[in-house]
């Protein structure tokens, strides 16, 4: 308690922040006076309008030596948290010179996620690493200055400046004599206080207010003053009260940092040393090429083990066997030992020739690598498994490593990952696991082989990741939204997954029937019980190798498209979580016939339309006539999976000419011809079928029923869920962001709820913009020059065709793009020439986006020599094909690309001419230094193209 006999010291808080009606601002901190991190007991602030600004303020009396951490929170009238600051906790420490009866006033600015970007490892540890290596000094000015008793004020200026070139100082200039009256030679020089924070203090008199000021950088090369209007502070000096005022002014306002990068799947990289597939150590070559080309970032697809089926299906990188284990596919077997005998070396050389194919042979690569690795393991297992480095690795990773190795053993032993076939091992238990992996176990050698593989994968990826950091290149990973149904994670933590469901996406740009990824949805309620420990561990593991990551399908953290486990397509799903339409709601609108609305509406006319003269055969095989002219599916084929199975059997004995795929699609159309979907867990709850107005089930309803369903449809998909989804994202996404200091980017493509982008902006999540998939409605092509800074822009991505293939796919679309985007009324060429590629890439590199990231295939298209391969063969994924073979390999080695000075110069000139920062190799030190591109070049190019 503060001694009431003394004049106490007072700490005041002041922050400008706009809130909505019914919202309040409060401070909560680590000390009891600020609630001990219990928001219900925090300090509630009071609002006041100061000009056009809404300012919140409050104060507390504190004892001598008081200190605390604190943050600001937006709460409702019951003090329920609605929003909170992103970033590090603020620190409150009383200045030594603060006497009884004097006050400390903290003037803060709300910290958004974008303010925290410089503190992410992509910038702190890679791009701005030289600035962050400065030694922090304790700023003594505030303690050395003494307050007079005549109302004088000590102002401490604090500014965050994450990037500072060598030999540069930071000053604050202003209208006061103490701030040099805007003259740099008389300004107040700031000192470094650590964590990119610069600060200094000086005494101000009554006549210095209102004070205008700005921060600036100063070096021998000149002075750079921050952008925007002058900052301004007023202090009420009429009270005669002496005080310290600390101005936490956030980030220095200067040209935002913008960089460029290259994206390519790990498996697609080709080198002279690999065995038919890209390997982690190839990343060093890719990093060298990135630096030579002016790039600060290399982006990969997921690199976790996917070997669920032990066949080429496992080439799908988003279906994780384990979210912790690395994929053995990317192991360089030649590097796992220094003592490989000559016969094995010869085997490796022969395999290199045999596997050097146009595309990845997934099964052959995996089999060859594991076979060779087992031979080396047999020779050195005792040495490696008893080594100090392995023991440290095992100790740090055993929680996931033991079940992973056991799973791999059981998968091979039972020849399936379907654990229902594993007998007593079907259900996981720690007791059974420990017996299986113990050194006394008969199977220990097999189990320890998987330890050995993961150990070497860790060493090789760590080596590549450290190499990238030293070269100033951000290594960006990929966080898949799901895990395989038959994975280590669902075996060990079945309570975290809804195993009777499947994830996907509603119909979108990629597929008019939606997508069904086959992953079980997450049991978020169960995950929240340990504060999402599985997610936190997953992100911590990623952070060992990457300094940035892409959150696959970030919409899944707001809501996921959930399908029944028996579905094969992605059409008849519902959002989870979501507020369903209740039976009472439907009845109040005059809708009573729930069987009619929820059961497939199959009339004879529809059957004849779909199947022609063969409709009777189809009807007798798959359907029952429940009333004159109307049919329903038989019990043995009333789901998509049952239909697929029954159809296969039917076609084995029938003489149908039509393909199985077409017949299956038509039967699925019948099954999906419903207006409402009944909740499988609550029969009194319903969901509108996606695109319900396109169904004959809807079209044959009376006008009143159609009007009601239309209204409920648009309410369900576009209105009633927004608050729920926003709150859901604020529960889950901050846990991810706080689990590591990697820079987080979100893949926000598809049907985007209106709550998504504001939440991403608040949390500092960088979005994605693909020009051919604009997020704006009624726009065919995005306009890169109008993109938000907090975005990654790219001409294409792994889920769509390359720039060349897209150009050649559609003549009419090509003409529209040529006219609307490139500003030409001429007939566009059939082929995507290097000049067109250059124009599109320049549009993106000049965009305001934080990052421009280009698929390697699109960069290679800048040179005709690399466009001899048919463009369609360069596509990485076909989202419409659930059994797509992910096997694209770049047709040129990284060594050859490094020697192609013409291409690297073309790319570097693009980056240099765009105003983006790029790494410039220092010939003396061999290190990559940061350079800023020049002003934009002239926009005149071949075809007289304009940069609209």
Residue pLDDT, tens place only, 92-128: 999 887 888 789 999 999 998 888 898 899 999 999 8
- Residue 138 is predicted with a pLDDT of 44
Write phi, then psi, for 145 (nearest 5 degrees).
Answer: -80, 140
How many whole angstroms separate alpha carbon 177 and alpha carbon 416?
79
Burial tier of 97 (Cβ tally within 10 Å: 0-12, 13-18, 19+): middle
946 vs 46 pLDDT, higher one: 46
Least confident span in 151-165, 465-479, 518-532, 543-557: 151-165
How many whole angstroms separate alpha carbon 513 and alpha carbon 355?
37
DSSP type of residue 33: G
Tokens 């150990």 sit on residue: 455
Which domains, and CATH codes, for the chain? 1-111 (2.60.40.10), 134-255 (2.60.40.10), 574-709 (no CATH)
What would you report as the CA-atom Rg of the chain, rounded to the nearest whole angstrom?
Answer: 31
Residues 6+ apart with CB under 8 A from 595: none
**What is the phi-psi region of residue 294: left when phi exceeds 0, alpha when psi lies from -120 to 50, beta otherwise?**
left
Order of all β-strands in the sheet with 501-505: 515-516, 501-505, 560-564, 574-576
Model confidence at 240: pLDDT above 80: no
> What Cα–Cα distance (Å) separates residue 837 from each residue in 136, 728, 917?
47, 41, 21
Model confidence at 935: pLDDT above 80: no
Model confidence at 926: pLDDT above 80: no
Model confidence at 945: pLDDT above 60: no
Span 671-682, pLDDT tens digits: 999 999 999 999
Span 801-815, pLDDT tens digits: 999 999 999 999 999
Percent of the chain exceeding pLDDT 70 equals 94
Q: Is the dihedral of CA 298, 299, 300, 302 positive or negative?
A: positive
How many whole angstroms separate alpha carbon 775 and alpha carbon 796?
14
627 vs 943 pLDDT, higher one: 627
Q: Beta strand 928-932 with 917-921: parallel, antiparallel or unpaired?
A: antiparallel
Q: Residue range 824-847: average pLDDT?
A: 96
- Residue 948 is predicted with a pLDDT of 33
How many whole angstroms separate alpha carbon 494 and alpha carbon 651?
38
Helix (H, G, I), strand (E, B) or coil at 353: helix
**What is the phi-psi region of residue 129: left when phi exceeds 0, alpha when psi lies from -120 to 50, beta otherwise?**
alpha
Model confidence at 625: pLDDT above 90: yes
Burial tier of 682 (Cβ tally within 10 Å: 0-12, 13-18, 19+): exposed
Note whether 190 and 157 are within 8 A (CB).
yes
**What is the phi-psi region of residue 754: left when phi exceeds 0, alpha when psi lies from -120 to 50, beta otherwise?**
alpha
Q: Report the b/e string of 696-712 with b at 16+ CB within 10 A.
A: bbbebbeeebbebbeeb
Burial tier of 455 (Cβ tally within 10 Å: 0-12, 13-18, 19+): buried
How many whole angstroms separate alpha carbon 27 and alpha carbon 173?
31
Q: Residue range 207-216: average pLDDT?
A: 95
Reported confidence tier of residue 620, pLDDT bands at 50, 70, 90: very high
- Residue 143 is predicted with a pLDDT of 42
- Residue 751 is predicted with a pLDDT of 80
Note whether 380 and 337 are within 8 A (CB).
yes
Burial tier of 603 (Cβ tally within 10 Å: 0-12, 13-18, 19+): middle
Question: Quick check: bond before 577 cis, omega within 30?
Answer: yes
- Residue 132 is predicted with a pLDDT of 57
How many whole angstroms separate alpha carbon 401 and alpha carbon 409?
12
Residue-wise DSSP of 236-278: --TT---EEEEEEEEE---PPP-EEEEE--GGG---SS-SSS-
Structure tokens at 525: 């309620």
Reported confidence tier of residue 513, pLDDT bands at 50, 70, 90: confident
SS3 readout for 549-578: EEECCHHHHCCEEEEECCCCCCCCCEEECC
- Residue 145 is predicted with a pLDDT of 53
- Residue 946 is predicted with a pLDDT of 35
Note whether 801 and 876 are within 8 A (CB).
no
Order of all β-strands in the sheet with 623-627: 602-603, 630-633, 623-627
Reported confidence tier of residue 237, pLDDT bands at 50, 70, 90: confident
């Amino acid at each position: 308690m503060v001694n009431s006999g003394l004049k106490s010291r007072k700490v005041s808080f002041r922050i400008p922040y706009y809130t909505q009606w019914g919202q309040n601002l409060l401070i909560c901190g680590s000390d009891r006076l600020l609630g001990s991190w219990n928001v219900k007991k925090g300090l509630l602030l009071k609002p006041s309008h100061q000009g056009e600004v809404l300012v919140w303020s409050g104060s507390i009396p504190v004892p001598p030596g008081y200190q605390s951490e604190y943050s600001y929170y937006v709460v409702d009238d019951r003090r329920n948290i609605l929003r909170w600051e992103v970033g590090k906790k603020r620190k409150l420490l009383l200045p030594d010179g603060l006497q009884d009866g004097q006050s400390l006033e903290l003037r803060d600015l709300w910290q958004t996620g974008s303010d925290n970007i410089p503190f992410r490892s992509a910038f702190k540890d890679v791009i701005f690493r030289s600035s962050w290596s400065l030694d922090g000094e304790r700023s003594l000015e505030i303690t050395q200055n003494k307050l007079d008793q005549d109302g004088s004020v000590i102002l401490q200026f604090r500014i965050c400046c994450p990037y500072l070139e060598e030999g540069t100082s930071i000053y604050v200039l202003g209208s006061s004599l103490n701030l040099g009256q805007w003259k740099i030679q008389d300004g107040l020089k700031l000192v470094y206080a650590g964590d990119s924070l610069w600060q200094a203090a000086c005494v101000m008199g009554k006549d210095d207010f209102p004070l205008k000021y700005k921060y600036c950088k100063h070096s021998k090369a000149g002075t750079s003053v921050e952008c925007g209007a002058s900052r301004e502070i007023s202090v009420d000096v009429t009270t005669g009260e002496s005080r310290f005022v600390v101005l936490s002014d956030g980030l220095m306002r200067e040209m935002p940092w913008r960089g460029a990068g290259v994206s390519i799947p790990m498996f697609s990289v080709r080198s002279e040393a690999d065995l038919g597939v890209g390997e982690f150590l190839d990343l060093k070559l890719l990093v060298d090429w990135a630096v030579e080309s002016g790039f600060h970032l290399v982006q990969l697809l997921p690199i976790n083990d996917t070997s669920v089926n032990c066949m080429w299906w496992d080439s799908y990188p988003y279906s994780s066997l384990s979210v912790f284990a690395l994929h053995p596919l990317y192991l360089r077997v030649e590097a796992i030992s220094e003592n490989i005998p000559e016969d094995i070396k010869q085997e490796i050389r022969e395999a290199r020739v045999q596997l050097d194919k146009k595309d990845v042979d997934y099964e052959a690569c995996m089999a060859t690598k594991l076979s060779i690795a087992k031979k080396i393991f047999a020779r050195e297992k005792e040495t490696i498994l008893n080594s100090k480095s392995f023991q440290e690795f095992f100790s740090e990773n055993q929680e996931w490593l033991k079940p992973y190795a056991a799973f791999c053993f059981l998968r091979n032993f039972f020849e399936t990952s379907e654990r229902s076939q594993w007998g007593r091992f079907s259900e996981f238990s720690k007791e059974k696991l420990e017996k299986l992996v113990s050194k006394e176990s008969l199977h220990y050698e097999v189990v320890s082989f998987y330890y050995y593989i993961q150990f070497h994968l860790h060493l090789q990826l760590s080596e590549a990741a450290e190499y990238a950091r030293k070269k100033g290149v951000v290594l960006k990973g990929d966080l898949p939204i799901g895990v395989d149904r038959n994975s280590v994670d669902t075996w060990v933590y079945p309570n975290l997954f809804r195993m009777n469901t499947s994830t996907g996406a509603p119909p979108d740009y990629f597929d008019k029937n939606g997508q069904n990824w086959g992953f079980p949805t997450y049991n978020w309620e169960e995950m929240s019980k340990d504060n999402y420990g599985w997610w936190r561990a997953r992100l911590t593991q990623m952070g060992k190798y990457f300094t940035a990551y892409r959150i696959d399908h970030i919409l899944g953290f707001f809501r996921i498209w959930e399908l029944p486990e028996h579905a094969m397509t992605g059409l008849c799903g519902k959002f989870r979580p979501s507020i369903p339409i209740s039976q009472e709601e439907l009845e109040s609108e005059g809708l009573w016939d729930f069987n009619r609305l929820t059961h497939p509406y199959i009339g004879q006319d529809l059957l004849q339309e779909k199947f022609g003269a063969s409709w009777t055969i189809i009807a007798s095989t798959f359907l029952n006539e429940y009333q004159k002219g109307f049919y329903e599916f038989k019990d043995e084929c009333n789901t998509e999976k049952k239909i697929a199975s029954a159809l296969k059997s039917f076609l084995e004995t029938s003489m149908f000419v039509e393909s199985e795929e077409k017949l299956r699609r038509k039967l699925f159309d019948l099954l999906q011809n419903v207006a409402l979907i009944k909740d499988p867990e609550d029969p009194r709850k319903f969901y509108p079928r996606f695109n319900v107005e396109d169904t004959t089930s809807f079209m044959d309803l009376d006008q009143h029923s159609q009007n009601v369903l239309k209204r409920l449809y648009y309410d369900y998909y576009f209105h009633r869920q927004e608050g729920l989804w926003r709150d859901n994202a604020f529960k889950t996404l901050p846990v991810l962001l706080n689990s590591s200091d990697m820079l987080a980017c979100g893949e926000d493509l598809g049907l985007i709820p209106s709550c998504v982008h504001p939440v991403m902006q608040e949390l500092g999540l960088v979005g994605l913009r693909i020009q051919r998939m604009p997020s704006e409605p009624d726009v065919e092509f995005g306009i890169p020059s109008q993109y938000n800074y907090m975005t990654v822009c790219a001409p294409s991505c792994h889920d769509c065709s390359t720039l060349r293939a897209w150009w050649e796919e559609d003549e009419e679309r090509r003409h529209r793009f040529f006219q609307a985007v490139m500003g030409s009324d001429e007939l566009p060429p059939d082929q995507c020439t290097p000049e067109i590629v250059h124009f599109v890439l320049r549009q993106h590199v000049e965009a305001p986006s934080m990052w421009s990231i280009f698929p390697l295939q699109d960069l290679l298209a800048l040179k005709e020599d690399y466009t001899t391969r048919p463009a369609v063969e360069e596509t990485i994924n076909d989202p419409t094909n659930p059994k797509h073979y992910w096997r694209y390999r770049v047709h040129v080695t990284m060594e050859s690309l490094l020697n192609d000075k013409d291409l690297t110069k073309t790319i570097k000139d693009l980056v240099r001419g765009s105003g983006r920062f790029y790494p410039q190799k220092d010939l003396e030190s061999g290190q990559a230094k940061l350079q800023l591109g020049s002003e934009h070049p002239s926009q005149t190019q071949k075809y007289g193209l304009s940069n609209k």
